[in-house]
Structure 1
């Protein structure tokens, strides 16, 4: 899992602005027959015994072991579309060294 600097900074900005009391965020990934995967992202204050914890620029990211496996080849970034802001998680399957597109 790779977090862009912009995504990390935006979440830290939200934590500071809203004076959130949670320790971080939780990400859950599940297989989906229609689109491949679905992702849930929400504020979290409790680490579960089976969690993988990632520290990203002072932000704690809690991921259960099953989700951690599904998130291995993902990029998390911040986006603004049609005036709406959000965190977007994208599954990547290509090797950046072999493609001509810009990789994060």
Structure 2
């Protein structure tokens, strides 16, 4: 089967970062992202300052995608492709991430 896109709406659950003291919003994917035969269960993350977004799944290879905006406009930023159970992170630089967090299974 081909690649599939999954968009996740940020949730309200906040977890404290262990060493950094940064808080993250976590949203589990309701249906998961489809692979050839097994559906992955994924969670998305957004830092409270909206500088970072991430995705972590229980299987497969994937990366995070978010839209970062600043005074100069908005652009789509993706994180590196990672294998489960690692987290793919994207950094907004001088901007911030707004809107939905998406991920792509590869």
User: What TM-score do you get using the length of structure 2 for normalisation?
Assistant: 0.28
Which protein is bigger by CA-based radius of gyration? 1
More helix by share: 1
User: What TM-score do you get using the length of structure 1 for normalisation?
Assistant: 0.28
More strand by share: 2
